[in-house]
Structure 1
Amino acid sequence: MNGKHIFFKLEFPKEAYLPPLARILARHDGTFYPLSETITESLFEKYIDALIKELDEIRIEGKRKFAAWQPIKLN
């Protein structure tokens, strides 16, 4: 990630009379980009669970690659 942090946020409508629809956004280079379509309450948990699963898979793959890496030996 080259020293850059990844930020996630949930975006809800500001108007209280609107239904609580949410979007999951991720920030890259100071700008937030949507990671999901607008989601309803019934799908909210599924999206969060999918995001957690994806991050866990990234963690596992990263650990595997770090563990398998061997420095080049120069004679």
Structure 2
Amino acid sequence: MSARTRIDGFLGTGEEDAGCAKTMSLMHVYAELVLAGEDAPARHPGVALHLSRCAACGEDYAGLLAALR
């Protein structure tokens, strides 16, 4: 993914993106759904979208998954 694509994605976040605060408050729920084999992106699409766009939240999520495993 090019830097321009990442910038456009960041600047173009819309209402469907959960944002950092909401993602952080739901991250443990989202991670537990993933580990249980549930379709977490379908249940929390705004969180899934945010995790794909925000590197900081994505790193926190990866660390949480690693700790829960």
TM-score (ref. length: structure 2): 0.33
- Of the two, which has the highest radius of gyration? 1
Structure with more of its chain in helix, by fraction:
2
TM-score (ref. length: structure 1): 0.31
- Structure number with the bigger relative contact order (C-alpha 8 A, sep ≥ 6) is 2
